[in-house]
Amino acid sequence: MRAGHFDDDHEMFRDSVRRFFQKEVAPHAESWRAQGQVDRDIYRLAGEQGLLCMFVDPAYGGSGVADFRYEQIIMEENQRHGDPGFFIHLHNRLVTPYITELGSEEQKQRFLPGCISGETILGVAMTEAGAGSDLAGMRCRAEDRGDHFLLNGQKTFISNGIIGDLFVVAARTNPEVPRQIGLFLVERGMEGFSRGRKLKKMGLDSQDTAELFFDNVKVPRANVLGDPARGFYYLMQFLAEERLIGACTYVANAQVAFDITMDYIRDRRMFGQTVADFQVNRFKMADMRTQIDVTQVFVDHCVRLLNDGRLGGDIAARAKLFASEVEGRVVDECVQLHGGAGYMDEYPISHLYRNARISRIYAGTSEVMREIIARSVGLDPRKKAAGKGG
């Protein structure tokens, strides 16, 4: 138990969550990696266990548990005892809040019960070939046709792209204004909506990632989230939590890598002693222990800030940057400590190493995080240029 962060109720919840992942997820992880996606049933089973969209109001079938620490526990236990490719966090806290915070009463009643039961699997479609971290470069467009919007374009690198049933799709609603973006709920089976190939990736093999295509898709006004001119600002509104979610998983992955490496170096013998007996390796483990602990304290602090409604975008960027960089260093060092075995897929550290590389890219690259942080401490070249112009 991390002192002062979790209480007895949290730890009781953790025990039940751990058992769920050990029983329902871990036994299927290898087959899911081979097929390139998780089975749809896992969402339904998670829904039956009450692990989906816990924060949603009971009026729509949720538990009304707003404490983000419960979500943190789900993420940690999935990384440790489930399958990192099962993007339960994407469904729970990346996409669902768009509906709860921006959706109309009719939209909430229509979509949330299925999200909570696991019958409706969620995804969010922002990224395009020429617009990742720079959302202003988006080319997907939605033309207002009165009773509906006509959606055209394509998205790429979309998580849950194959198994997803409902996507929050970002599209430009005014070609003359780069940041005028709308958010649209696109449902499986809508005419003109299709999926491309399942993309092969370096890691996260069981997480289905795909291209999505929109060819004159008629999106009724009933499927528009909020003001179709303010989507850019809505996206910014949710980015802080998205980056914290990332940080929670990154430090959990680093902890898993540390634990399995500790077991390995205690058993593996070289020159008449264990790998752990060499001072250089003991010092490496000491360094990693310190880095993980410092990161965990900061991430836990950010979780409390989120619970209090005080998590700012710059703080979340620091958490995302620091946690992803620590994860990268730790998994790399742990592969080295495994020696040749670390390069073999039969050893878990190999999967952790490949999975970790994306952490410094998605949800905003480390370079973008540094730019955000630099601006937050007063190093904003835009303001400097504006001052000279005045």
| CB-based burial label for 108 (10 Å; 0-12, 13-18, 19+) | middle
DSSP structural state of residue 208 = -
242 catalytic? Reply is: yes
Q: Bridge partners of 217?
A: 151
Is 53 within 8 Å of 115 (Cβ atoms)?
yes
Q: H or E element: which one contains 220?
A: strand 209-220
> Which residue type is seen at 286?
A
Query: 383: which 2 tokens?
Result: 């303001």
Catalytic residue (choose from 76, 128, 211, 242): 242
Is 98 within 8 Å of 238 (Cβ atoms)?
yes
What is the rounded distance in angstroms from the CA atom of residue 78 to the CA atom of residue 257?
14
Q: State the helix-helix crossing angle for 313-338 and 348-356, rounded to 10 degrees.
A: 150
Interstrand relation of 269-270 and 224-225 (parallel, antiparallel or unpaired): unpaired
Is 373 within 8 Å of 318 (Cβ atoms)?
yes
Please report, for residues 75, 260, 352, the alpha-carbon distance to residue 359 in angstroms, rounded to integers and kept in the order given.
15, 20, 11
Q: State the helix-helix crossing angle for 105-117 and 41-48, rounded to 10 degrees.
A: 100
Q: What is the CA radius of gyration of the chain?
A: 22
What is the rounded distance in angstroms from the CA atom of residue 136 to the CA atom of residue 121?
27
Catalytic residues, which ones? 242
